[in-house]
Amino acid sequence: MQDTSKIPHGWRMELTDCIASYMKARFQEEVFSGPRALPDISIPFPVLCEVDRILSVISQAYRRPINIGKNRGGKTCNAEAAERYAEVTEPSILVTDSNTIHVWYLPDALSPKRRADVWNRLHLLREPLRESIKASPQAWRMDKSYFHDNAELKGAINLSPAWFQQGRGPQNGFPEASRLLKSRTENTSTREWVDQMSDTNALLSAILHVIHP
């Protein structure tokens, strides 16, 4: 988590931190009978509803551990696992004999509406993707063999709302936006996508704060 004392009031990162803190507190309350968790008043009501939905799925998964076992070399016993194979269709966690969580399976954690919104907003990245492909046609990220044959566009977008999210420490102590987000006159659709996806990205960050702190 970031040091929120250095985050200007009203920034999306502040909202992300509030959501993550609330989701963690709700998880403690739900699973470990922790103190009653109350949300920050800055969290929009639709996002709170989404948090409750996500927490329900995470809690179900945590209460349904599936032991995958390990052999002496530290790898999964494939033959043994195959004998007791069962399709996982419910929220679950895959754990080893030492109760180490290796996988969280969280189907339908996000609401159908939010999942639909994610797909419906992808059109905003069409032109930035074309620009990214044109700027670096020889980069391995643009190798067409890595994409489905019937894909309309094949490539990767050079897009990062904040470099620190990729584990890179900014030189001046502040997040550094990628090129597509720096221009004030070009690629307005890119900034529109980031703005429209901010709540969803905050929820995804909050999920990671709980399941992979």
Give the global pTM.
0.75
Alpha-carbon gap, residue 5 to 29, rounded angstroms: 26
- Whether pLDDT at 78 is above 70: no
Dump pLDDT digits (tens) for 86-100: 688 899 999 988 888
Dump pLDDT digits (tens) for 106-163: 999 999 999 999 999 988 888 888 888 888 888 888 888 888 888 877 888 866 655 4
Dump pLDDT digits (tens) for 21-61: 999 999 999 999 989 999 999 899 999 999 999 999 999 99
Alpha-carbon gap, residue 82 to 185, rounded angstroms: 56
Residue 67 is predicted with a pLDDT of 85
The DSSP code sequence of 63-99 is TSEEE----TTSS--HHHHHHT-----SSEEEE-TT-
Domain range annotation of the chain = 122-196
Q: How confident is the model at residue 71 (pLDDT cuts 50, 70, 90)?
A: very low
Quote the tokens at residue 91: 């929220």
Residue 19 is predicted with a pLDDT of 93
